[in-house]
A and B are shown apart, each in its own frame.
Chain A
């Protein structure tokens, strides 16, 4: 009798993906689904979908969902959670959604200490609208609205959301992870699980920023995109836990060097 060792989480629907080859949204969806399953939350979870590539997140999760307008997912999450504190509420947002148009909503949601979980996918670009510059686009990185590369003298430096949110006095769990290679992915899942666990316990607001690739809009094959993330994003967006509700100091991710990523250049 064969034993099932790997299967689709109950919290995910059986559907085909619309994400591009090499995009890591699918990995992150799966991690969230696994965490929801492992904590036994599927039947009381409400997800909030953003505007961006993951606008159709509600097609992938086997949980109730609420589609938000651009950037407002933390406000919608606030409304759901305040109306029904017994529900587990997570918002799933990209970097244009969260760090640009939704900057006010995410900061105030975090500052009020809403007992919700935010999954923040940072791929340093606007994906769905066709590769425009995001607040997280790297210096010199080419995008359709900065064809010569991001000029920090005009567009400023990329915003580090995990660091910014962790300056707030209100207790929170703030972490940054990556899913560009398996070892990092294991760590990302651990961060997500802690983030959901804090909500289950009613402890605090939680956010996990997850670095993600966008081969299509970066103009790179998937393997090169993975290497580009490791070479360019990891030094600027350090991984680790930035804030915990107990107030412990920042703990860098116990991973060093260039492990995992394939260098296909």
Chain B
């Protein structure tokens, strides 16, 4: 298929349709309204169903019900809405159901603002809802990558029977870029029949029960350990990242994800023109985090600079990766303000000149 100029939100919606997802349940919230709007007119064209729920709480429980039938299902929201969906997400993880969730992050806390942010990193990667669970979290830096990751996310969700979150920001949702959808795309994971789904128990088959309730503590502990083993497999097999300029020598390693990483890539080019050598590791999977890639890439650098649109959240994973082997510095913007290449380059210069304060405890 030829490339088509698409808005990020529309590309995300179309990617879900291309992944044979015919169900969307969601609730309006800025800045992701274009996704449900797109789905509301697109899904009927392919025999699918769009439901505008009464709340994000309800939406998260509708996708929980739909996923229990084994059908592919999708929702999108933005930060305060994801907080409300935390209930359903925890149940989805506990019941091991595959769904794809998109969080187009806006600035918080509370009602916050409607402009781009990366302040939901902790919520996405460390929990969000109650109980021991993990989401697979993928962060695109372009509209094309968002479209690709959404399609992969459905395969990953089915393979692991686990919710997968696409973590973007308002920039990903709003910007327009050329997108190509490949015909005859091959799933990124082998897909098995969903013989666990609650679809009516025929004949002598035991009943299929979609459930996260285990009143016997020993049985629940076994369940927790089974989930942990699954998350460990994800950590081993699903790490995704790209490197930028790590083939050359460099003094500074930048770690950034999402659209901010694009800003950093421009900053790295500008720094090279000034004779300053920097490189970048860009995590694509935030859970699992590419600890090994960051550790390896940092060996060539004198210092590491983490750039985020938050007060510093991913920086904790970078510090875990480095185990104190390199000084870690931070540059962040908050509240919906964006980081410019000039600001990142200026901070990089300060790090290498010794005038930036190292972050010892994030």
Contacts and interface: CB of A to CB of B under 8 A. Distances in A.
Contacts, number: 134
A79 B209 CA distance: 15
Interface of A: 13, 42-46, 48, 55-56, 58, 61-69, 72, 75-84, 87-88, 104-105, 107-108, 112
Contact of B61 (A46, A65, A72, A107): A72
Given A62-B207, A67-B209, A83-B65, A43 B54 contact: no
B208 interface: yes
Contact of B199 (A46, A58, A69, A104): A46
Contact of A83 (B66, B88, B209, B210): B66
9 contacts: A56-B213, A58-B207, A58-B211, A65-B198, A66-B65, A72-B61, A75-B59, A82-B66, A83-B66
A112 B51 CA distance: 10
Contacts of A104: 54-55, 57-58
A227 B91 CA distance: 40
A77 B208 contact: no
Interface in B51-96: 51, 53-55, 57-59, 61-69, 71, 73, 87-88, 91, 95
A76 B87 CA distance: 13
Nearest to B206: A62
A32 to B, nearest CB: 15
Given A48-B65, A83-B49, 16 more contacts: A46-B199, A62-B201, A64-B199, A64-B207, A64-B209, A65-B198, A65-B210, A68-B61, A72-B58, A75-B61, A76-B61, A76-B64, A78-B51, A82-B25, A104-B54, A108-B54
A250 to B, nearest CB: 26
Interface of B: 23, 25, 49, 51, 53-55, 57-59, 61-69, 71, 73, 87-88, 91, 95, 198-203, 207-213
A143 to B, nearest CB: 24
Contacts of B201: 42-43, 62-64
A190 to B, nearest CB: 25
Nearest to A70: B87
B23 A83 contact: yes
A14 to B, nearest CB: 13
B198 A78 contact: no
Contact of B25 (A13, A79, A87): A79
B162 to A, nearest CB: 18
Nearest to A67: B211
A63 B61 contact: no
A38 to B, nearest CB: 17
Chain A interface mostly? helix
Closest 6 CB pairs of A and B: A79-B65, A76-B65, A79-B66, A75-B61, A79-B62, A64-B198
Contact of B198 (A43, A66, A105): A66
B207 A65 contact: yes
A22 B198 CA distance: 32
Nearest to A80: B65
Contacts of A64: 198-201, 207-209
Nearest to A55: B213
Contacts of B62: 75-76, 78-79, 82
B51 A80 contact: no
B202 A43 contact: yes
Contact of A66 (B23, B25, B53, B68): B68
A42 B53 CA distance: 29
B207 A79 contact: no
Contact of A84 (B58, B64, B69, B210): B69
Most buried by B among A44, A65, A83: A83
Contacts of A65: 198, 207-211
A39 to B, nearest CB: 13
Nearest to B202: A43
A79 B68 contact: yes
Contacts of A79: 23, 25, 61-69, 73
Contacts of B211: 58, 65-67
Contacts of A56: 213
B65 A87 contact: no
A240 B65 CA distance: 31
A69 B61 contact: yes
A83 B71 contact: yes
Contacts of B68: 46, 66, 76, 79-80
Nearest to B57: A72
B299 to A, nearest CB: 47
B167 to A, nearest CB: 23
A78 B55 CA distance: 13
B209 A66 contact: yes
Contacts of A83: 23, 49, 65-66, 69, 71, 73
Contacts of A82: 23, 25, 49, 51, 62, 66
Contacts of A61: 207
Nearest to B71: A83
Most buried by A among B95, B198, B213: B198
Contacts of B66: 79-80, 82-83
A72 to B, nearest CB: 4
Contacts of B88: 69, 72
Nearest to B67: A79
Nearest to B25: A79
A22 to B, nearest CB: 23
B65 A58 contact: no
Nearest to A48: B65
A108 B58 contact: yes
Contacts of B65: 48, 66, 68, 75-81, 83
Nearest to A86: B200
A58 to B, nearest CB: 5
